[in-house]
Structure 1
């Protein structure tokens, strides 16, 4: 065999061996790799809930070797562990508070149920942690069963203040995780918390200069990439993206390249801004844009092109203002774009010591992925060899390019471990106060080992340590939060480390751990306070059936720890319930009277050998008749006065009444004029007030009113004097006198007035005048009467004289002489010869006077003729005597 063939054969055998070894390694990796879980500082809790996280909440797997952590729950590898096995995968999901209906969206103040399955039970030493949108752990619960439910009540306010004073959001994307005893992530799920009263969104904008626009020559186009997103939890309304045109540039275009459609301006506004708007940017929606510009000609090389964009909603609350604006920078090149250098170092590496150097110092031979370069970098060198020895501790490895660019990563070698011991404080027992809690001094566990730190987790999730902003270097609190009634378990854990603290981060602390030990302490708080019965003596009114129902006094009991039997609020889930008995059952119907009621309440606590704490109380329940009778008045009455009277005899009837408790209430009526009900009713309206009174003590009364109206419809009476006839005594006529009539009425207050003609003693004209008198009573009824006053004409008076003379006993000669004068006067008067008529009448007067003196006629007869003649003469104006 030649050397060459021998070498070939050796090479073939080596290849086959290597191939077999490679297949075995690949198979072993497939089996062993699931035994490792991602070590996430975001879920590490050194002392308690409320510590910051370093890993994004939605990261469940990482290929970063420095972040891989061995899950202690799987550390005992059986001899057949390398064989393929069907191991159930742990999982966790969220439900509404009863743990029945799946749900991933909740409001402030609601209770969330998380159900963890395939947990491995208590043997796996795992926990359930609740992480808020800011990355702080709010609650940790040890897993003791498979499956296991865990409840968490979301705070009622949009923000909370942690024990370290930091204010964190309660609105947004939460996560609930299964974590190992080393705080590595085993399983995770998310849920959203909203504020129904105030829509809230988390808008963000990022931007960068793409590689071909990091340097732009003057006169050339460049661009910036813009990415906007709404991370929720609610849709964002009236969203505006604003991008300011950089100095030394001219705007070319804003081009949307993905996402829901925005409306963008095409010309910068007065402030040099380009805006893009959209009515609604839904939760989870994102969009990308290219902002294209031209570098102004003559811009000096090296000038920075600084571009800033911002995003905001006009109406929706913003959850995080820190990411609402972003800035990117490019520079001006003298010519076309120049090359750039980008170096990418491998992730930090943490490994255990596995060898020693020539001086017997412990360490490890570490392989790392060489640094990659992109662009024009020149010579790239790394200051530490690969696959070489690294000592215990952390070594910084730096890669540099001739362009001056560089990057670094760390290699940390830890000790293989050291023995750790821990001793818990004694179990504690205390009595609950009025708030169902007790302040208990529990002490602190002690431990032994290298660089030991102690942490504690209370089963109620309340913190016992205060840590720095990195969640490390924790200090035991001087006073613990109060413990609720019941048993609270404190799990104390001691960790040994290869180096003493302080540590830079949770990941830094974890990387230096070399061992751990745990123990548990219990704090028992007994409820020794009996319930408080707040019911007091009560007086109620009887109902329409003269009864009242006994109230349910069982809801008048409170307790410092236990909940009412009817309280189904989230705070009362799993709490003891108060039992209350009352010897007169609620709802019993009782009539008027006083009734004793005995109440007994028990808080259902474990005190008194499980019999609980008991309180009794006696109260008096009194039923009173406070309902007035129902009364119905007779109908109102309207009638007329009796004839000739200003009143009427009326029968008003009687009111009727009923009562809820009294079958025969008393009814009485009272007139407004104080007269008896059977007395006559005067003209006008008389009110009768009817009152019904029951026999309760004190009595209840009710009233109604009835009116009796008596109206006067009877007319008054009046009688006028007889008609009057007069001779005229002056040119105007004659004075007539008469007695003015006065009317009478059945009711007082009638008034008589002259409604036509002249008054008595006034001058009435020649002719006939009607005089009318009207009487009107107070009710508007009226009556009238009339008579006439007739004043004769001068011709009629002369004619009457002619008739009287003709009928007298004078001789024919005497009559003819007088008649001749009278006829001459009448004829002259008819012809309008007033003076002739007056002269003839004067002759008549003289002749009559002669006859009287000779005794031919009586003085009475003659003077009557003379007066009539003189009346005519005066009426004709021949004399000027006054009217009579």
Structure 2
């Protein structure tokens, strides 16, 4: 057997061959390079696990059992193949039936459209495969175009029976893939199928005894870890976790350590069960519990403490009953042991070699059914691990009990093909970064054998080789795609051949295989990053009821790996879910004040022994009263001034106020004139500003205004002088003098004006003139008074002289002589004989003067007669003296 290096795994070139092509070796060195048979991804089908693949009627997938048994891709290189060229990455996505609207959630009976792009068309010889939740291929369609639409109608029933009689689920998580001609995975996407008439969930429970409780001394406490989860596709309603208290123990406590809150009983029921219930366990939600017990005193050493838990929903259909219960076992570390024991081993096993060990020795990884026991067996041990490597030949496996019973069975591994060996790179462990991935250098497996080629398959489906559009001319990537959190396995396979390459086709390469060996490398990426809580202190205003609802801060949590419980997107299918608790709960109504809110978030990861990574954060939620009071002013007031005053006494009332938080806000009024509210209100409009103030900090205020209008409707007063009678002193009349009246009012600002007749000191005409004065106040109220100025006619003056002389003390000829002159003047005046009248009046004046001089009349009387006569003479124009 010849051992090949990595550069010569695909071609075995003899010396004779080198001689035959000697002159071309330089050219060959440039264009020929080795090719590893490559897997770009794992193929989603059960055939790789030894289960049948059910094919739709239109499937073109080969039913050749040997081809279906491989979960890797194999390619051969043509002679003088060129280096691979970069090509667009194929992708596939799901849509509703018209292939227009993206969709990843469907119901039974609906049609799904899958659109594949960058496929390379028919030349790439690729196909679209539809894989059900159980891993069976339901339909395969050749890709004839780029892009290519393919349609699949989901069965109308929750389950289907395949052609091999297998009953599989139609509800749950489906995959639709682009696969190569060798059935290796090129691209993949997922979608969820639900039954709208019957909610369905996949509830599961796992249980283990932690390392510190695998052996528990009598009289001591032990515990079992319990993990429950709902993998969907629907929320599970009325969920009950039941845990039976083991024999020889006393129940202590059921403690929930993560996840949405369950309600657990504290005392076993009549059947010895502890139950924990929750109304709804959402899709993707999980929870963990510690079941604590005490081993009863006197329990014999080696006694097994067997603890079984189960989970069920009272109303939601269960998708997979196989994982609805789990059992874990511990043993008693002190005390005695009695009784009998019967062990029953599994049947002998014969299998073909399928891998090599660390020293490249061929063999097989074999799973066997664990030995069953009855009676009191104490500790049961098997001298060979399960699911482990067995070498070629026959290995005896023995199981024994501390009580003395034992049994054995054989595992025989037969050789297949040529002696191929393979050595995997070392397992790798890394911490996930902020994107929930880690870049890991995994290396490359090495193999020995005849004309060996090596392929690799990552369990996450990501490629490890770069190939051309036809899936050939593949080279190992220098840097692998990042690994997601969790455990990713890489299955390395070495194939031996009876002739060296190159091979003309995939079928040609497969026909020359003589043996294979596989090994598995694990890459463990730990999620060590706790969730991030971005909620911060928040201040809100109280509502009309003086309350505010606590927000839901649980949606402020993000994680590098886990998804929110409510995130049903395609990327979150099968991912861990973030669980968040909030104290005080969202929606709680709180009054004004500052409240601490405690948030706890767990990413549900497997870190910390399955407890996940936890983050806590305290923030302050503050409710403030920012609403001002509502104020209602009294009605505006209009009134009249009090009598004799320019103001009024007014009671304005008081404003009223209400507040959302304060039952008794303060109300105060302020006048625009700065006077107290109970002071008299002046004429005009006074504004009262009413302000309501609550007792918040800082205080809130609101205001309204009220007007008090005092109107002056009181008329002013005015008094005129007495009527005036004057003799004319000139042809125009006579000058009248008087004191002009001034009006008075209850309010300042009244104005008095003469509205008729002449002013004092002016000439008034002969006759009667009415003089009117009007006083008007600032409000438009007014009052008037009048008096007359009468200027006598010359005839009236002469007549008054006749009357005065007649009434005088004169007698005889003195009186008669004066009267004769006056009568003559009056007669002449009446006849229009002005000069005659003036002459007679002049004679009268002279005669009166003589009488005064003789002492017949007083000077006062005589001068008055003289003045009146002269006034008439001047009035008649016989003289030209000014008016007086």
Query: Into which bin does the TM-score normalised by the smaller protein fall?
Result: 0.5 to 0.7
> Is this contact kept in 1: 2:76–2:502, CA < 8 A?
no
> Is this contact kept in 2: 1:472–1:506, CA < 8 A?
no
Query: 1:881 deviation in Å?
Result: 1.3
Distance across 1 between alignment mates of 2:802 and 2:657: 90
Closer, same or farther: CA 486–57 of 1 in aligned 2, 3 Å? farther
Aligned to 1:608, the other structure's residue is in SS state coil
> Is this contact kept in 1: 2:209–2:328, CA < 8 A?
yes
Gaps of 5+ in 1: none
Closer, same or farther: CA 577–744 of 1 in aligned 2, 3 Å? same
Closer, same or farther: CA 475–241 of 1 in aligned 2, 3 Å? farther
- The corresponding residue for 2:515 is 515
Query: 1:773 deviation in Å?
Result: 1.3
Query: 1:722 deviation in Å?
Result: 0.7
Distance across 2 between alignment mates of 1:833 and 1:309: 156
Closer, same or farther: CA 32–796 of 1 in aligned 2, 3 Å? same
**Worse overlay, 727-736 or 375-384:** 375-384
Query: 1:200 deviation in Å?
Result: 40
**Worse overlay, 311-320 or 546-555:** 311-320
Aligned to 2:19, the other structure's residue is in SS state helix
In the comparison of the two structures, how many residue pairs are matched? Answer: 884
Query: 1:822 deviation in Å?
Result: 2.9
**Worse overlay, 557-566 or 273-282:** 273-282
Query: 1:866 deviation in Å?
Result: 1.7
Q: Deviations over 1:525-556 (max 9, x none)?
A: 22111112233344444433343333333223
Distance across 1 between alignment mates of 2:603 and 2:748: 86
> Is this contact kept in 1: 2:207–2:328, CA < 8 A?
yes
> Is this contact kept in 2: 1:835–1:878, CA < 8 A?
yes
Query: 1:628 deviation in Å?
Result: 3.6
Distance across 1 between alignment mates of 2:587 and 2:385: 90
- 2:408 paired with 1:408: yes
> Is this contact kept in 1: 2:109–2:155, CA < 8 A?
yes
Aligned to 1:881, the other structure's residue is in SS state coil
Closer, same or farther: CA 862–413 of 1 in aligned 2, 3 Å? farther
> Is this contact kept in 1: 2:603–2:614, CA < 8 A?
yes
Closer, same or farther: CA 874–36 of 1 in aligned 2, 3 Å? same
Distance across 2 between alignment mates of 1:292 and 1:606: 21
Distance across 1 between alignment mates of 2:249 and 2:270: 16
Distance across 2 between alignment mates of 1:295 and 1:610: 25
Coordinate RMSD, CA, aligned = 29.9
Query: 1:776 deviation in Å?
Result: 1.7
- The corresponding residue for 2:846 is 846
Closer, same or farther: CA 228–511 of 1 in aligned 2, 3 Å? farther
**Worse overlay, 134-143 or 308-317:** 308-317
**Worse overlay, 737-746 or 841-850:** 841-850
Report the TM-score when normalising by structure 2: 0.53
Distance across 2 between alignment mates of 1:225 and 1:600: 21
Distance across 1 between alignment mates of 2:553 and 2:334: 90
Distance across 2 between alignment mates of 1:225 and 1:722: 125
Query: 1:291 deviation in Å?
Result: 86
Distance across 1 between alignment mates of 2:165 and 2:274: 40
Query: 1:725 deviation in Å?
Result: 1.3
Distance across 1 between alignment mates of 2:562 and 2:283: 42
Distance across 2 between alignment mates of 1:358 and 1:427: 12
Closer, same or farther: CA 858–289 of 1 in aligned 2, 3 Å? same
**Worse overlay, 841-850 or 40-49:** 40-49
Distance across 1 between alignment mates of 2:575 and 2:451: 42
Query: 1:775 deviation in Å?
Result: 1.4
Aligned to 2:343, the other structure's residue is in SS state strand
Aligned to 2:678, the other structure's residue is in SS state coil
Closer, same or farther: CA 770–369 of 1 in aligned 2, 3 Å? same
* More contact order relative to length (CA 8 Å, sep ≥ 6): 2
Query: 1:401 deviation in Å?
Result: 90
Aligned to 2:46, the other structure's residue is in SS state coil
**Worse overlay, 334-343 or 587-596:** 334-343
Closer, same or farther: CA 48–603 of 1 in aligned 2, 3 Å? same
Aligned to 2:861, the other structure's residue is in SS state helix
- 2:279 paired with 1:279: yes
Aligned to 1:55, the other structure's residue is in SS state coil
Query: 1:724 deviation in Å?
Result: 1.0
Aligned to 2:628, the other structure's residue is in SS state coil
> Is this contact kept in 1: 2:11–2:34, CA < 8 A?
no
Q: Deviations over 1:453-494 (max 9, x none)?
A: 877665656555555688764554433332222344556688
**Worse overlay, 736-745 or 628-637:** 628-637
> Is this contact kept in 1: 2:311–2:325, CA < 8 A?
yes
Query: 1:631 deviation in Å?
Result: 2.9
> Is this contact kept in 1: 2:626–2:700, CA < 8 A?
yes
> Is this contact kept in 2: 1:244–1:272, CA < 8 A?
yes
> Is this contact kept in 2: 1:429–1:525, CA < 8 A?
yes
Distance across 1 between alignment mates of 2:211 and 2:526: 68
Q: Deviations over 1:631-669 (max 9, x none)?
A: 332222222111111222222222333333433333333
> Is this contact kept in 2: 1:95–1:113, CA < 8 A?
yes
Q: Deviations over 1:735-771 (max 9, x none)?
A: 1111111111112222222222221111122222221
Q: Deviations over 1:269-312 (max 9, x none)?
A: 99999999999999999999999999999999999999999999
**Worse overlay, 866-875 or 142-151:** 142-151
Closer, same or farther: CA 775–212 of 1 in aligned 2, 3 Å? closer
> Is this contact kept in 2: 1:71–1:180, CA < 8 A?
no
Distance across 1 between alignment mates of 2:841 and 2:54: 153
Distance across 2 between alignment mates of 1:335 and 1:772: 139
Closer, same or farther: CA 425–604 of 1 in aligned 2, 3 Å? same
> Is this contact kept in 1: 2:247–2:305, CA < 8 A?
yes
> Is this contact kept in 1: 2:684–2:709, CA < 8 A?
yes
Closer, same or farther: CA 538–849 of 1 in aligned 2, 3 Å? same
Query: 1:729 deviation in Å?
Result: 1.4
Q: Deviations over 1:542-578 (max 9, x none)?
A: 4333433333332232211112222334433332111
**Worse overlay, 483-492 or 528-537:** 483-492
Distance across 2 between alignment mates of 1:378 and 1:613: 37
Q: Deviations over 1:703-742 (max 9, x none)?
A: 3332222222111111110111112212222111111111
> Is this contact kept in 1: 2:175–2:190, CA < 8 A?
yes
Q: Deviations over 1:396-438 (max 9, x none)?
A: 9999999999999999999999999876544433211122121
**Worse overlay, 540-549 or 167-176:** 167-176
Q: Deviations over 1:19-44 (max 9, x none)?
A: 99999999999999999999999999
